Amino acid sequence: MTSGYKKAFWVNPRPIAQNPEKHVREIVEMGADEIFLLSIDGEGALYPAKFSVVAKGVAERSLIGDIIREAKRSGLKVHAWVVALNKPNDELAAKRKDWFVVSREGKSCVDNPPYVESYKWLCPSNDEVKSYFTGTIQELMETYDLDGVHLDYIRLPDIFLPEALRERYGLEREIDVYREKYDFCYCEKCRNGFKKEFGIDPFEIRFGSRKWYEWHAWRAERITEIVKNFHRVVKKYDNTIETSAAVFATPGYAYRIVFQKWCEWPLDSFEPMIYHEYYGKNIRWIGEAVMEGVSCGKMIVAGIQFEFLRSKRDVEEAVNVALERGSNGVCFFLYPLQHPELKDAVKEAFSRF
């Protein structure tokens, strides 16, 4: 065993909340030492929060409290997995529509969500959104004994989709086709903020022009500002709590399609979602993506989509190629496993590092 390597799962609490002892035991038996436990999802907190909006069905009883206690008792490190800016919460959308992003068509994602109905996103330029987000993190840390806080959906909606997903939405697979309805955010705060710095309204900028790339960079910086402030808030509260994020597969993809310039983020680790089939790639590509992330000088823990691993050989290859190319461990998405018959394959793979 090599010390310092992460063996982890992203964990959905909903299917396991009724019997946390059984499921934590299974996670430990597979050899994991850390979990990223979904604690605030798109609907809201999965516990009876006071500051954050709360997901349906958990107003009275926490879905995560017993799991956290059992995991800690069993020696697992627990990272609270937080869906940051994707917030398809009906109550929030009704009360604070002005918090949500607006497309280049001038339409709010509350009324016209891109791609899927749940794509309702908070605007990273909005000061009230920033305060709300910070408050939800602070409340979460004060409520539970955590080893880390882990961000997800810390981005804008996809201006382009990964190649293998495009045909689902009537888009050409091999070409980046620009559509105004997928281009965010053009709310007044974003437009005025950019115009104040650059002297031009983003609505006047032509896609693909030099000025448009400045506009793209400006929006990425708004995401980076939120991440940097998140890191400061966590470390001020407790410097031992780790910060991390589930980011798009490579720095290049992440910046180009979802405005994540994550090589500039000060987090303790990164779990890039190297879900190879979404990009039309084979398992070996996991290693290439890891190398690109490592080249930033960041601590990379390869995020691997377990659904795309269909045999013991697949599990072994995915783990091996990630570690060979410099990953500091592996985090599988998702527990409970999509292929439970491969539990022993996971255990064997984890036992090798």
259-281 pLDDT tens trace: 999 999 999 999 999 999 999 99
Tokens of 239: 């410097």
pLDDT tens-digit map of 282-316: 999 999 999 999 999 999 999 999 999 999 999 99
Task: Work out the pLDDT band at 57, boundaries 50, 70, 90.
Answer: confident
pLDDT at 284: 98
pLDDT given for residue 262 in this prediction: 98
Q: Give the per-residue pLDDT at 233.
A: 98
Using the predicted structure, report yes or no on whether residue 1 has a pLDDT greater than 80: no
Angle, nearest 10°, between helix axes 127-143 and 210-237? 30
Q: What is the mean pLDDT of the chain?
A: 97
Average pLDDT of span 222-245:
98
Peptide bond into 185 cis (omega under 30): yes
Sign for the CA dihedral angle at 36, 37, 42, 45 comes to negative
Is 2's pLDDT higher than 60?
A: no
Summarised one tens digit per residue, pLDDT across range 184-203 is 999 999 999 999 999 999 99
Secondary-structure percent of the chain, ordered helix, strand, coil, rounded to 5: 40, 15, 40
| pLDDT at res. 4 | 82
Q: 165 falls in which pLDDT band (50, 70, 90)?
A: very high
Range 86-101 average pLDDT: 97
Q: Rounded to the nearest 10 degrees, what angle do helices 65-73 and 20-29 cross at? A: 40
- Kindly tell me if the per-residue pLDDT of 124 is higher than 80: yes
Per-residue pLDDT for 14 more than 80? yes
Whether 173 shows a pLDDT value over 70: the answer reads yes
Alpha-carbon distances, residue 263 vs 98, 254, 256 (angstroms): 30, 10, 13
Query: Which of 34, 22, 30, 18 is CA-nearest to residue 72?
Result: 34
186 three-class SS: coil
Looking at the chain, the whole-number percentage of residues with pLDDT higher than 90 is 98
Question: What integer pLDDT is reported at residue 228 of this predicted model?
Answer: 98
* Reported pTM: 0.97
- 60 — pLDDT class (breaks 50, 70, 90): confident
Exposed/middle/buried for residue 171 (C-beta within 10 Å: 0-12, 13-18, 19+): middle
User: Looking at residue 3, what is its pLDDT?
Assistant: 56
Going along the chain from its start, the domains and CATH numbers come out as: 6-350 (3.20.20.80)
Average pLDDT over residues 50-57: 94
pLDDT at 59 (0 to 100) = 81
